[in-house]
Amino acid sequence: MKNRLTILLCHLIAGSMFISVVLEAASPQSAAAWTASSVLYADKNSAMPQVEYTREFRHTRLPEFWIDRIKDPDRLILNKHQIRQFNVQTAHLKSLTFPPEDFNASYAGQWVGDKLARQFAFLAAKSFYREDGKPIGDTLMTVLWTNCNFDAIPDTVHTHYALVVHYANHRLSPSDLTLLKKPQQRYFDRNQNAALDIGTPLALLHCSRDKKWYFALSPSSYGWIAAEDVALTTRKEMLDFCRSRNYVVTINPKNALFAEGRYRDFLRMGVRLPYLGKRGDLAKVSIPERDENGSLRLRQAAMKESDIHLGYLKYTPKTIFTQAFKFLNAPYGWGGMFGEQDCSKFLQEVYGSVGILLPRNSGDQIKAGRSIITFSGDSRRRISLLKQKSEPGMTLLHLPGHIMLYLGEYKGVPYIIHTVWGAAEGRNPLAKTAVTTVHFKNYIDQMDTAVVIKP
């Protein structure tokens, strides 16, 4: 028996060595995009074994764990009136968002041209390769710039109004081409500014030379959208749709939309649609469509009641944590690519479910809140400031190019939830929404500002 056991162990060891060699040979030489690391991102100085780490810290992946640590998680941070005032302040005083009721009947051509030219200049400075890894070259950028039709912008631009009819990309140039900064960065399309959900109101300000794209202003971004993705309408019809007194708000990261009993599309969190009543266990809503002439027609659709809420959710710490943790492990999507979200879109959706309109980009989002910390000094001082001044459920932390939601502290260490690419130390990227400490990738030493989302 002992000899047989020895022989069996030898075979197993040899087999495992063979398997490891095969796996090593099959492994990519560089980190594979979208592959989440199985290695826990504990503090880099921690020597705690993984089994012990899991036993101690597994609770940090549940919203209830963090909600339970808040003194009064159900307290109302802002009521409906105060949220409206916050949105007005963000739009009117800080010029960071563009609510549809504030769309102008006309805009100065210089203002439109400046927005268009700035976006294209940013794209040109960041784009050097096509999706296949080949260099772009000057010819392609010239073609794209020509299609922007810049010289045709009049002195006064008269606004046309529209609603988005499909999940649509908001681009930096009038093109679907994927443009990359580095040949291997195919998941970071520099031509992608944002993605827009069905029902998003638009101010159309310019048309491309080939007539296939509109330069459009949305409530939180501007850029080029394909003409086939919008339905033209009047200002009144647009406002009647997006400011309906009876409305539902989508409350999950992905919310199925049905038309005539069949799946039609999905909506992301925080989308507002007119409510038409109930049909069995489904909610009836109104959605925009594009008729044969490109004009708006409304049709009835349906959604699961578990995916919607009548009116906005209450703005409480509990609500924000509950909504944020619904995204845990959701894939990363730069600028809304693949129907997903990046760091700023994650927060925009979470706060959108309570009626707060945040800007599209992290640099503007941090300007929308009220500053409570300007970080300086070493890690110890920064952590001390966080503990003293941050309020879980309403505090955003910013570093150049990234933004996070503060959860609170556990065992003396501040934690965050954020949608992050997060390749670190040669490991595969997280590429998802994750809970980490502020020591992840030395974020604490890079943070510049903390704000609370209230006036």
CB 136 within 8 A of CB 129: yes
34 in any annotated domain:
no
Residue 23 has pLDDT above 50, yes or no: no
Per-residue confidence band for 59, with pLDDT thresholds at 50, 70 and 90: very high
Angstrom distance (rounded) from CA 306 to CA 185:
37
Looking at the predicted structure, is the pLDDT value of residue 426 above 50? yes
Band the pLDDT of 13: cuts 50, 70, 90. very low
CATH number for the domain including 63? Answer: 3.90.1720.10
Out of 89-93, 103-107, 278-282, 360-364, pick the least confident: 278-282
Q: Into how many domains does the chain fold? A: 3
Determine the structural domain holding residue 119 and report its residue range. Answer: 97-234
Indicate if the pLDDT at residue 448 is higher than 80. Answer: yes
User: Do 54 and 170 fall within a single domain?
Assistant: no
Which of 234, 252, 268 is the C-terminal boundary of a domain?
234
Q: What is the pLDDT of residue 425?
A: 59
Beta bridge partners of 331: 432
pLDDT of amino acid 424: 60
Segment 6-14 mean pLDDT = 46
Confidence of residue 49 (pLDDT cuts 50, 70, 90): confident
283 plus 307 within the same structural domain: yes
In a domain, 10, yes or no: no
Please determine, for residue 39, whether its predicted confidence score (pLDDT) is greater than 70: no
Which residues have CB under 8 Å from 395's CB, separation 6+?
A: 372, 405, 406, 450, 451, 452, 453
Q: What is the dihedral of CA 395, 398, 402, 407, to 10 degrees?
A: -30
Per-chain mean pLDDT for the chain: 90
The CATH number covering residue 283 comes to 2.30.30.40
User: How many CA atoms, within 13 angstroms, populate the side-chain half-sphere of residue 160?
Assistant: 16
Residue 82, in any domain of the structure: no
Of the ranges 35-39, 114-118, 414-418, 441-445, which one carries the lowest mean pLDDT score? 35-39
Q: Is the pLDDT of residue 352 over 60?
A: yes
Find, among 321, 308, 199, the residue nearest to 249 by Cα.
308
In this predicted structure, the answer to whether residue 37 has a pLDDT above a threshold of 60 is no
Q: Report whether pLDDT(26) > 50.
A: no
H-only helix segments in 377-425? 379-389
What are the pLDDT digits (tens) for 220-243?
999 999 999 999 999 999 999 999
Give yes or no: residues 102 and 222 share one domain.
Answer: yes
Looking at the structure, tell me whether residues 255 and 137 fall in a common domain.
no
> Do residue 137 and residue 255 come from a single domain?
no
CB 324 within 8 A of CB 453: no
Structural domain includes residue 61: yes
pLDDT number for residue 211: 98
pLDDT confidence band for 140 (50 / 70 / 90): very high
In whole angstroms, give the CA distance from residue 222 to residue 416: 29
Q: In this model, does residue 416 exceed pLDDT 50? A: yes
Judgement on whether residues 123 and 175 belong to the same structural domain of the protein: yes
Q: Amino acid identity of 79?
A: N
Does residue 15 surpass a pLDDT of 60?
no
Structure tokens at 20: 């490891």
- 186 and 291 co-located in one domain: no
Kindly report the three-state secondary structure assignment for every residue of 293-359.
CCEEEEEEEEEEHHHEEECCCCECHHHHHHHHHCCCCCEECHHHHHHCECHHHHHHHHHHCCCCCCC
Mean pLDDT of the region 422-430: 70
Q: Is residue 308 part of a domain?
A: yes
4-to-14, 57, 164 alpha-carbon distances in Å = 15, 43, 70
**Based on the domain organization, do 287 and 217 belong to the same domain?**
no
Q: Are residues 319 and 448 in the same domain?
A: yes
292-347 pLDDT, tens per residue? 999 999 999 999 999 999 999 999 999 999 999 999 999 999 999 999 999 999 99
Tell whether 325 and 306 lie within a shared domain: no
Task: Give me the pLDDT at residue 427, please.
Answer: 63
Q: How confident is the model at residue 33 (pLDDT cuts 50, 70, 90)?
A: very low
Out of 312, 328, 350, pick the residue that ends a domain: 312
The pLDDT of residue 265: 96
Here the tokens at position 200 are 């998003």
Given 312, 338, 356, the domain boundary residue is: 312
pLDDT surpassing 50 at residue 22: no
One domain, residues 109 and 219: yes
Is the model's pLDDT at 25 over the cut of 80?
no
* 29 falls within a domain: no
The whole-number pLDDT of residue 156 equals: 98
384 plus 331 within the same structural domain: yes
pLDDT value at residue 46:
55
Tell me if 376 is assigned to some domain: yes
- Is 9 inside a domain boundary? no
What is the mean predicted confidence (pLDDT) over 129-144? 93
Query: Does 3 or 351 have the greater pLDDT score?
Result: 351
